[in-house]
Amino acid sequence: MSKRTNKIITIVMVLIGALSWAYVAFRVYEIRSHRNFAWRSYLMNHHHRPISITDVSYISSWMTFDYITKVFKLPATYLKDTLKINDSKYPFVTLEQYAETIGTSTSAIIGSTQEVLRKYLASSTLQQ
Amino acid sequence: MDFLLATTLSYLLLYNYVALFVVAFLAAFLFPLPSSAALLASGAFASQGFLNIYAVLIVALAGNILGDLTGYFLAQQYGKEFLMKIGFRKIIESKSFIGVEKILHDNSGSTIFITRFVGEIGPLVNILSGLTKMPFRKFFLYEATGELVYALVLGLLGYYVGSTWQNLTGTIELVGVGLIVILTAIIFTKRYFRKSF
């Protein structure tokens, strides 16, 4: 078998394999998250526009206050004022690090953050 | 979520592109870091406006390519000498190693390309390529192409799925295993065709 034929077979097999796996993985993901992706409308709605999130259950211990403030589009010192944070590293400190600093559990900090976020999102929805 | 991934994500949020570069570089070089999940997460952070997607793709690509090349060149320059000094002479000079060298050189394209998508195997292939003195141009061609596709696929996938990116981490590992199965099938199929014809 010539080298060229060899190469073509390799490329075709790699492409078929990769596409098959990509399709399987995509379908698995779609089923697991109960979604139906509408490619065109998604791209048209979200192209060049940051996607904000409103689900507070997304909050995790590895997140920083800076990140939470930006993705939930909060005022810059909202979390610092409402949670009464005195850490000098704020907002560049993770929830876990902050919990360790003040000697409380990470789940307590996550719960408090989720609570203030819910109130903020509820009040901003009412204003709209 | 495991400790290593959580720590990596914290560093990504604290040090942004510097952390992404370091994780990509070290994972491509040799260290078992969750670079796939980090790239996926970085794409998601970009969709949320926290990072810039173009910067994420460029930084991840640069880190991966430089990490691969570092492993390749170090193995090429010092690999055999070092392994022989620490007692691996018999393995380096064995028939099995020569067989592995032949398989790698006969299937360099598919092996290097596909193993870019499998975090744990990629660095080993880089080192083997260096140890077996694979020509640099050949190695770089397949390595850079693979890393480009890898960065684009994972970065844009994270950008597309946004805040639900964590649902994909298990799937990515499954895809990695699947790719290794495909690579093995390619190698055995080619050997079968070669023997038959």
Q: Which residues of B touch A52 (CB under 8 A)?
A: 48-49
Predicted local distance difference test score (pLDDT) of residue B109: 81
| Higher-scoring residue by pLDDT: B37, B106 | B37
How many interface pairs between A and B have CB atoms less than 8 angstroms apart? 99
- B39: three-class secondary structure by DSSP: helix
- Give the minimum alpha-carbon distance from A52 to chain B in angstroms, rounded to a whole number: 6
In contact, B56 and B46? CB cutoff 8 Å: yes
Kindly state the average pLDDT of the residues B71-97: 81
Alpha-carbon distances, residue B168 vs A32, A100, B63, B72 (angstroms): 10, 30, 22, 30
The DSSP letter of residue B51 is S
Q: Measured between CB atoms, which of A53, A62, A92 is closest to B163?
A: A53
**ipTM above 0.85?**
no
Please give the sequence-ordered ranges of beta strands (E in DSSP) within chain A, or none if there are none: none
Q: Measured between CB atoms, which of B109, B163, B178 is closest to A58?
A: B163
Interface residues from chain A to B (CB-CB < 8 Å): 1, 6-7, 9-10, 13-14, 17-18, 21-22, 24-25, 28-29, 32-33, 42, 46, 50-53, 55, 58, 60-64, 66-67, 70-71, 92, 94, 96-97
Of all residues in chain B, the percent with pLDDT exceeding 90 is 37
Dist. CA B62–CA B147, nearest whole Å: 9
Quick one: how far is CA B30 from the chain centroid? 9
The DSSP letter of residue B76 is I
Q: Which residues of B touch A10 (CB under 8 A)?
A: 107, 109-110, 186, 190
| Higher-scoring residue by pLDDT: A105, B189 | A105
Structure tokens at B71: 């492993």
pLDDT band for position A27 (50/70/90)?
A: low
Kindly state the average pLDDT of the residues A45-55: 56
Kindly state the average pLDDT of the residues A55-64: 90
- Give the minimum alpha-carbon distance from B26 to chain A in angstroms, rounded to a whole number: 21
- Give the minimum alpha-carbon distance from B44 to chain A in angstroms, rounded to a whole number: 9
Structure tokens at B188: 């055995």
Q: Which residues of B touch A56 (CB under 8 A)?
A: none
Weakest mean pLDDT among A25-29, A104-108, B176-180: A25-29
Predicted local distance difference test score (pLDDT) of residue A24: 67
Q: Which residues of B touch A58 (CB under 8 A)?
A: 163
pLDDT band for position B190 (50/70/90)?
A: confident
In contact, A33 and B167? CB cutoff 8 Å: yes
In this structure, is the dihedral angle defined by the CA atoms of residues A97, A51, A73 and B55, taken in order, positive or negative? positive
Interacting residues of B32 by C-beta distance below 8 A, sequence separation 6+: B119, B120
pTM of the model: 0.78
Of all residues in chain A, the percent with pLDDT exceeding 70 is 67
pLDDT band for position B74 (50/70/90)?
A: very high
pLDDT band for position B107 (50/70/90)?
A: confident
Dist. CA B25–CA B23, nearest whole Å: 5
| Higher-scoring residue by pLDDT: B134, A48 | B134
Kindly state the average pLDDT of the residues B20-47: 92
Alpha-carbon distances, residue B197 vs A2, B108, B168, B190, B191 (angstroms): 10, 21, 42, 10, 10
Average pLDDT, chain A: 78
| Higher-scoring residue by pLDDT: B150, B107 | B150
Q: Is the pLDDT of residue A83 over 80?
A: yes
| Higher-scoring residue by pLDDT: B9, B107 | B9
Q: What angle (nearest 5°) sits at the alpha carbon of residue A15, between those of residues A11 and A16?
A: 120
pLDDT band for position A104 (50/70/90)?
A: very high
Kindly state the average pLDDT of the residues B96-116: 80
Average pLDDT, chain B: 85
